[in-house]
């Protein structure tokens, strides 16, 4: 038998589906919503509805946007000849927050993960190839996560881009600034040595 009325149970259940939210937190959030004033609680519902109806992938780079084409793709100051390929819109935001990149992006919308049923055809790889083949692209920076799945995805994308006569690079990896060599693990140190550059 349910502990609470059906609508409360449903609210707890929906909160519980959010990433990182356990049963206890879901219950706490649900009761927070129930005891907040109507406009406050409904503002949350409206924000979710608006985000879902107004935000969609950019038709060029698949970044999330309210317009047909995202503000980065339409910004004349951005270098359209350099495309940085990321897995998720949040990776794009992280790179964007550095202010160190003046090119444009391509969001793959995930990584290849056969065990989870995600194949190359489920990502936006075809659209990336079409962008590169359309011409004007000098460099593609593969900025997938430095994980087995991310590396695998980058290798796959790189092999498809190979015949396109475009420079293919990937992000450097290695020691984080402020870190200490003695605490770095072997794979980080190996990457740092491999990716060393001239001073
Ligand atoms: Zn875009």
How far apart CA 196 and CA 199 sit, in angstroms, is 9
Q: pTM score, two decimals?
A: 0.79
| Cα–ligand 1 centroid distance for 43 (angstroms) | 28
| Cα–ligand 1 centroid distance for 175 (angstroms) | 31
Q: How much is the pLDDT for 2?
A: 62
Give the confidence band of 1 by pLDDT, cuts at 50, 70, 90.
Answer: low
| Cα–ligand 1 centroid distance for 72 (angstroms) | 6
| Cα–ligand 1 centroid distance for 154 (angstroms) | 20
Token pair 């190359």: residue: 120
Give the confidence band of 117 by pLDDT, cuts at 50, 70, 90.
Answer: very high
pLDDT (mean) for 170-183? 88
Torsion, Cα of 73, 79, 82, 84 (10° steps) = -50
HSE at residue 29, side-chain half, CA atoms within 13 A, is: 17
| Cα–ligand 1 centroid distance for 104 (angstroms) | 8
Q: How much is the pLDDT for 176?
A: 84
């Amino acid at each position: 038998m349910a502990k609470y009325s059906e609508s409360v149970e449903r609210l707890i259940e929906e909160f519980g589906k959010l990433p990182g939210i356990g049963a206890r937190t879901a219950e706490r959030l649900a009761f927070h919503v129930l005891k907040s004033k109507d406009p406050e609680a409904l503002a949350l519902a409206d924000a979710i509805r608006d985000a879902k109806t107004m935000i969609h992938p950019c038709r060029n780079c698949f970044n999330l946007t309210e317009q047909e084409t995202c503000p980065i793709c339409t910004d004349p100051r951005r270098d359209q000849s350099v495309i940085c390929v990321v897995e998720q819109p949040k990776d794009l935001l992280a790179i964007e927050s550095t202010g160190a990149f003046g090119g444009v992006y391509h969001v793959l919308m995930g990584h290849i993960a056969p065990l989870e049923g995600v194949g190359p055809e489920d990502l936006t790889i075809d659209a990336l190839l079409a962008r590169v083949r359309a011409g004007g692209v000098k460099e593609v920076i593969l900025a997938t996560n430095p994980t087995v799945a991310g590396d695998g995805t980058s290798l796959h994308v790189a092999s498809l881009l190979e015949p396109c006569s475009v420079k293919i690079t990937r992000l450097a990896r290695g020691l984080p600034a402020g870190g200490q060599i003695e605490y770095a693990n072997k794979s980080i140190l190996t990457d740092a040595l491999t990716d060393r550059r001239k001073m």
